A and B are shown apart, each in its own frame.
Chain A
Amino acid sequence: MTTLRSRVKTSPLFWPLPPLLLLVPAGLILALTLAGTWSALSWRALDWVYLSGQVGAQARLPVVVAAGAAALVAARFTRASLVFAQPWQPRLERDVPLRHALVVTGWCLGAYLVGLIPLTVAVAAHDAGVVDPMPVLGALAGFVALTLLGYLCGILARGLFGVPVAIATVFVLTALPMVADSWTATSLQLPLVPFVGMRESVLLGSYRLGFFLLLTTIAAWTIARFLRVPRRFSASHAMGAVALASVAFLPHLYTFPLVAYAQGGDEICSERDGIRYCVHEGHAEELDPIIDLAAPVFAAYGRGDAVPDQVRDHALATEDREVLDGPEHGVFWMRVHPGWDPYQQVPEDAAAWLVPDLFVCGSEGVARMDRDAQARERRAAVITGFQAWLASRAFGGDTSEDGPFAGADPDEVRAWIARDGERLAACEVEPEELPWWP
């Protein structure tokens, strides 16, 4: 038993740290990662681009744990008062921090990557799109850099106080993109979830990678300096800090594009009732549900001239203008994304495409029919009521009894829309004008 224990202790996997100091954070990181990705395992439309983005997005909490663990190791094992951490000792300046960083980062990053395996297997089952290397590289470099930053906090604080400092610092750094997009260039993840048809902007990805490499370099250099005699700040430290701060703040002066349209990927198409439906090859499994769920909504609307000529997967778009001009060209762009629920989204989106947007009513998004409602709010209620009726009626459902379309006969609605479609588009129809209004 003693032999086994001593073998574990001197194993290169742990050496020179106590195994528990590595296993506890690694276990916590594994649990956090599995918990963070568990719900996505059963999602539809998973793809490699999404997974590439998740390598950074899911690291937000695990990297905080890793930084805390690194700070704890630094605080416990590099205090100059320790008999084995005196500044003159041959390995203290380089080998000790290198080895500490290697085993702490190895266990924490390893546990994180193991935690991502179930999601990777789920994505591999769909095998849609291709891996986007920039966010993956940026996330891995960020994980290492922020763990090293935690280690540096432990050394600078010269005690256990460094642990909460490291946790708070790294948590704030990873949370900043939620405050403003401009922090994205120096953080682990995008403020949006990328999926097939997109890729992270190369400029943004390169900048982020460069930032984390710079952070790693400066942190490693400062760590080595502070473990060497004498331990004090110098002008070169100040220059390093200024360089890092400059790189961190540059994105606030120049706005980086977040994502770009990925070129490539064949389309798979099918036609029903004169409408052509096309999806990215990575979304081939979604084509039939889209058709089955969108076609009845268009049929319920009834006006052939108003339905789109094409329904296209957003993953096939090549530029923003193409999507924005879609309605003008009779193209309905549908966002098929990981975790989407076509049974809810397709009817609603199809109905929303047919019915004008609420902003034409000028009601600031308010749609209601009670006695105190303003006229524009009542007219807006006709639009939202019609939208709900379409999404529901297409599949044999009925709208609520107190809505403007309560008890409406489908043929009667089709006749009304043929007559009053233009006025509805201009938000001019009062609820009392509806033919079935009691």
Chain B
Amino acid sequence: MRVTLEGLDFGYRGRKKVLNDLNWTLEPGVTGLLGPNGAGKTTLLSLIVTLLPVRGGHLFIGEHDLSTTVGRSRARRTLGFVPQRFSLAGELTVADTVAYAAWVHGLDRRECGPAALRALESVDLSALADRRTRTLSGGQRQRVGIAAALAHDPRVLVLDEPTAGLDPGQRLRVREVVAGLGEDRTVLVSTHLIEDVAHLCSRVGVLAGGRIEFHGTFPELEALIEDSTEGSPYGSEFERAYDRLIERVGESP
């Protein structure tokens, strides 16, 4: 399912605009969203998942126009979202948590159990289905969050910093899971980690100054970055070059 943003404007009351005439189209597959702190990544995600109202421009999830109440209401059933920080009810098991999420997303009660098992399978957590969520590690919790967002089989999945705060091993595991999700749906991953984008995303968007200043494949982004550095495409040298790129595109009119 395609996500289309046309001339999208957004500003919090009494403050300057966070998003300014933003145009972008997300196709099925995993797309990364990069941008410096304060660029408006979380605001953009909140608009896509209908947490914030569309006030200027248009945002379509498939054919659903999020600037209308009906459009928002219909789009919600096609959306899955894993926020950067979320909590779980410790007294519930992993399977119950995912089944509950499936129900909250609109599935019939009888469908929730099987849907939860399918979602847990897709994040490789079936073995922990009967564990209480309070006993899980950080990476396992993150995968439960993803399973909860997947249980109703959304066509559009939005992940906000899915690997933040995880140790390298857990990060790798979550990446493997997310990489497999883009085969039959549109996945948008917001991250500040270039490595996440390199391993996960078929396409990348860079948000700066309230606009998508770059949109293309990761090799295209790499090439752009390499224009401004002679160092390795990974590691701190790469990150610094990326920061310079962000500054550059941010300054462009």
**Mask of B59-100 contacts with A, CB within 8 angstroms, 1/0:** 000000000000001001101011101111101100011011
Q: Please name the residue on chain B nearest to A6 by beta carbon.
A: B113
The answer on a CB contact under 8 Å between A84 and B50 is no
Query: Are A90 and B105 touching (Cβ within 8 A)?
Result: yes
Specify which chain A residues have a CB less than 8 angstroms from the CB of B100 in the assembled complex: 16, 84
> A203: shortest Cβ distance to chain B, in Å?
43
Assess the A87–B51 pair: CB atoms within 8 A: yes
Q: Please, how many angstroms separate the alpha-carbon atoms of A90 and B92 in the complex?
A: 21
Q: Is the CB of A84 within 8 A of B97?
A: yes
| Bound: A21/B82 CA distance, A | 27
* A303 lies within 8 A of chain B by Cβ: no
Segment among A73-81, A130-138, A148-156, A310-318 that sits at the interface with chain B: A73-81
Measured CA separation A83–B113 after assembly (Å): 17
Does B119 lie at the interface of the complex (its beta carbon under 8 Å from any beta carbon of A)? no
Is A15 a contact of B109 with CB atoms below 8 Å? yes
Map CB proximity to B onto A83-107 as digits: 1 under 8 Å, 0 otherwise. 1111111111000100000000000
Using A88-B49, A90-B106, A91-B106 as known contacts, say yes or no to A77 and B73 having CB atoms under 8 A apart: no
Known: A10-B112, A86-B81. A76 touches B51 (CB 8 A): no
Q: Contacts A83-B148, A88-B76: A9 and B96 contacting too (C-beta < 8 A)?
A: yes
A178 contacts the other chain (Cβ, under 8 Å)? no
Task: Quote the shortest CB–CB distance from B114 to chain A (angstroms).
Answer: 10
Quick check: is B104 within 8 A (CB to CB) of the other chain? yes
A63–chain B nearest beta-carbon distance, Å:
25
Residues of chain A within 8 A of B97, CB atoms compared: 83-84
Asked whether any CB of chain B lies closer than 8 Å to the CB of A192, the reply is: no
A92's partner among B52, B81, B104 (CB-CB below 8 A) is: B104
Residues of B contacting A10 with CB < 8 Å?
99, 109-110, 112-113
Chain A positions within 8 Å of B91 at CB level:
18, 21, 76
Mark contacts of A7-36 with chain B using CB atoms, 8 A cut-off: 1 yes-contact digit, 0 otherwise.
001101001101001000000000000000
Near B by CB (< 8 A), chain A positions 339-397 give none
Residues of A whose CB lies within 8 Å of any CB of B are 2, 6, 9-10, 12, 15-16, 18, 21, 76-77, 79, 81-92, 96, 229
Known: A82-B88, A86-B49. 20 other contacts (CB 8 A): A2-B130, A16-B99, A16-B112, A21-B91, A77-B89, A81-B87, A82-B86, A82-B87, A83-B83, A83-B87, A83-B97, A83-B149, A84-B104, A86-B83, A88-B51, A89-B104, A90-B105, A92-B104, A96-B104, A229-B52
6 contacts between A and B (CB under 8 A): A6-B113, A9-B96, A18-B91, A18-B96, A89-B104, A90-B104
